Amino acid sequence: MPVPRPIDWTPTRAVRILDQTLLPDTERYLDLDTVDAVAEAIRTLRVRGAPLIGIAAAMGLTLVSREGPATLEAVCAASRTLGATRPTAVNLRWALERMERRAADAAAAGDDLVPALRAEATAIWDEDRAMCERIGRFGAELIGGDALVLTHCNAGALATGGIGTALAPVYALHDAGRRVAVVADETRPLLQGSRLTAWELSRAGVPVTVIADGMAASRLRLGDVTCVIVGADRIAANGDVANKIGTYGVALAARAHGVPFYVAAPSSTVDPATPDGARIPIEERAAWEVAGWRGHQAAPAEAQVWNPAFDVTPAALVTAIITDRGVFAPRDVAGAG
């Protein structure tokens, strides 16, 4: 199945990313050879999606040797730089802490840190691919057959190291020969649904229909949607879920129309240290993302803008959480972390 590969090593061991800000118009790959370049790519959403930014940050830490001696202190300083880019997604901090521990072990043993860091970053990437496959299998078993799935934002191959989280069950069903199709919210303000989800599904041969965000409730009311599946950037210990802004509204509409609302995420997205959704830090982004689009001003300059990148869906609205360790009721998901 031809899903995109949004990240890779270059032959010289720099980090190669697919610039997702240019899709679907232009498929351009960038080679990043400094920690700051990787940090900029994460901050500006050239690389995005909770699992993928964790992978990118891990790979970015290996670039410390290009800027000076690869000491433990340099690794920790680079980790702070990368960790400051996106506050909501827990996978970023999880991956960086894992890389710091590997660097500390290598330093204590007197080993060269760079090969150790490269091996750990590659392991994180490999493990993410395997986690996506397991999420796909568990999700396909949960759905059970032919399906029309509504999704919000992009939680597919472009957001992970493998076939995705929310889209993994879709790809698994498609590969099994089932009739599966997707309704994709466009996902304002940056259109990750129309630009990214529809692009990768089309490449994979999965039928996709794009709708404006405000149409989701009306589509669910029609009664033809089997289930909603979304990804997550952080899942609190009580099962509250932080995901792309607009997810909460979709969950409310799904509950109103009796449509199952599933969250799909790797176990590393579960944060047992965050007790509930009120404790999840919500990133606020620049006003221009809402006030305009690619240089075109769509709102008057005098208008104020509120632009949270994420919202929190209470656990009570979540039917089940699909992880690489199985399917959990929201109240039990802390056991998956």
AA identity, residue 185: D
d(CA 282, CA 90): 11
Closest CA to 17 of 66, 27, 90: 27
Residue 2 has which token pair? 């031809």
Say how many C-beta atoms besides its own lie within 10 A of residue 154's C-beta.
32
Give bridge partners of residue 17 from the DSSP assignment: 7, 30
Find the Cα–Cα–Cα–Cα dihedral 315, 316, 322, 324, rounded to 10°. 30
- Provide the strand spans (E) within the chain: 7-9, 15-18, 29-32, 147-151, 180-185, 208-211, 227-230, 234-236, 241-244, 261-264, 270-271, 292-293, 296-297, 310-313, 320-323, 326-328
Find the Cα–Cα–Cα–Cα dihedral 121, 157, 142, 205, rounded to 10°. -150
Q: Sheet containing 270-271: which strands, arranged edge to edge?
A: 270-271, 234-236, 241-244, 310-313
d(CA 56, CA 124): 10
Looking from the CA of 58 toward its CB, the CA atoms found within 13 Å total 34
Judge whether 276 counts as a catalytic residue: no
Give bridge partners of residue 29 from the DSSP assignment: 18
Angle at 97 between CA 91 and CA 100, to 5 degrees: 140
Angle at 55 between CA 160 and CA 173, to 5 degrees: 20
Write down the catalytic residue from 233, 240, 271, 311.
233
Q: Which residues are catalytic?
A: 233
